[in-house]
């Protein structure tokens, strides 16, 4: 397991909202259908360690962003600082509306900032909460290949990319299955494979386990952890995993807590657990 990422904690006063987070997930707010996963471009370099391997896959400094129009416009990101070690599974927690999904969209290059900077590996692949909005093709193989369609690759190349991606999430044996026969967790793993088929350097994963039972929840978590560990040193896929479920922290290499548009804590999963306990959470 990677060491924890250095502290980016600002000393903001901790305010605990037990209704916003729990050990067993939460009822999702009503929302519009999620967009299908998509890759975002620009590959950019980060700082390197002594042996030349870049250390951080993601580096965010003082990121500021306002959203909305007119009187409803408000500052959603209010000076976010975050560094994510390459090849790690980094979890991001925090109350509803604190800016987690907005930050993911910034990391994926989907939203430009008003101020501050983001330096992130690319391309990145998104996977969202509801597998029903993302797994849309009749068979697993067709679904994983879906995003590759725009590259007009030879059939054999697509087939091998699909095989490779399904193997990474331990779903090879399901390649020819009809997607409607899969469990929610299996469909989430297919959605992850679809993102992986495009060979992203960063996976941005927004509350993937909200609708899953415990078995599927940990199956998906293990798949993501294994993906981050499958790369050579300094070259692995980095995953940023947004969750409200504290029990998932045991799979994290590092974790951050967000509040009011800022990252107020970054450290090891155990350090975050201690902090959450101090804030009154039942863990
Ligand atoms: N396009 C938008 N226009 C105006 N406000 C927005 C827009 N998108 C998000 N917001 C607001 O920004 C804040 C942060 O939203 P965001 O979805 O990033 O929070 P979150 O931490 O992911 O919450 P949740 O845990 O409920 O998913 C919320 O108050 C939200 O209403
Ligand atoms: Mg969100």
Question: For residue 182, how far is its CA from the centre of ligand 1 (angstroms)?
Answer: 31
Cis peptide before 123 (omega within 30 of 0): yes
Instruction: Indicate if the pLDDT at residue 44 is higher than 50.
Output: no
Question: For residue 213, how far is its CA from the centre of ligand 2 (angstroms)?
Answer: 20
Residue of 26, 32, 67, 113 best suited for mutating to test ligand 1, as the one with most atoms within 8 Å of CB: 67
Structural domains of the chain, ranges and CATH numbers in brackets: 55-278 (3.40.50.300)
CB of 99 sitting under 6 A from ligand 1: yes
263 and 82 Cβ atoms separated by less than 8 Å: yes
Q: Can you give the pLDDT at residue 236?
A: 79
Q: Averaged over 109-117, what is the pLDDT? A: 97
User: Which residue blocks in the chain are alpha helix, DSSP H?
Assistant: 100-107, 140-146, 155-168, 184-196, 214-229, 269-278
Instruction: Indicate if the pLDDT at residue 17 is higher than 80.
Output: no
CB of 98 sitting under 6 A from ligand 1: yes
Phi, psi of 54 (to 5 degrees): -60, 140
> CB atoms < 10 A from the CB of 280, how many?
11
pTM of this prediction?
Answer: 0.84
> Which ligand lies nearest the alpha carbon of 95?
1
> CB atoms < 10 A from the CB of 238, how many?
27
Lowest mean pLDDT among 44-48, 60-64, 228-232, 243-247: 44-48
């Amino acid at each position: 397991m990677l060491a924890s990422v250095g502290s980016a904690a600002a000393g903001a006063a901790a305010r605990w909202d037990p209704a916003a987070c729990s050990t067993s997930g939460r009822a999702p707010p009503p929302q519009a259908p999620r967009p299908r996963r998509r890759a975002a471009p620009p590959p950019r370099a980060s700082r390197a360690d002594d042996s030349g391997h870049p250390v951080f896959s993601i580096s965010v400094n003082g990121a500021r962003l306002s959203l909305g129009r007119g009187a409803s416009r408000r500052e959603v990101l209010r000076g976010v600082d975050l560094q994510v070690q390459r090849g790690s599974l980094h979890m991001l927690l925090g109350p509803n509306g604190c800016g987690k999904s907005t930050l993911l969209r910034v990391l994926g290059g989907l939203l430009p900032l008003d101020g501050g900077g983001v330096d992130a590996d690319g391309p990145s692949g998104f996977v969202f909460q509801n597998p029903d909005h993302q797994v849309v093709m009749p068979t697993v193989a067709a679904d994983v290949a879906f995003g590759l369609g725009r590259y007009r690759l030879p059939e054999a190349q697509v087939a091998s990319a699909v095989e490779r991606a399904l193997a990474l999430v331990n779903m090879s044996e399901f390649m020819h299955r009809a997607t409607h026969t899969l469990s929610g967790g299996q469909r989430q793993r297919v959605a992850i494979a679809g993102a992986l088929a495009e060979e992203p350097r960063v996976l941005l994963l927004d509350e993937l386990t909200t609708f899953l039972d415990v078995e599927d929840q940990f199956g998906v978590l293990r798949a993501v952890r294994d993906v981050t560990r499958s790369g050579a040193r300094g070259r692995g896929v980095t995953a940023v995993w947004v969750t409200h479920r504290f029990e998932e922290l045991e799979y994290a290499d590092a974790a951050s807590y967000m509040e009011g548009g800022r990252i107020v804590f970054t450290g090891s999963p155990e350090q975050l657990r201690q902090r959450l306990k101090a804030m009154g959470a039942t863990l």
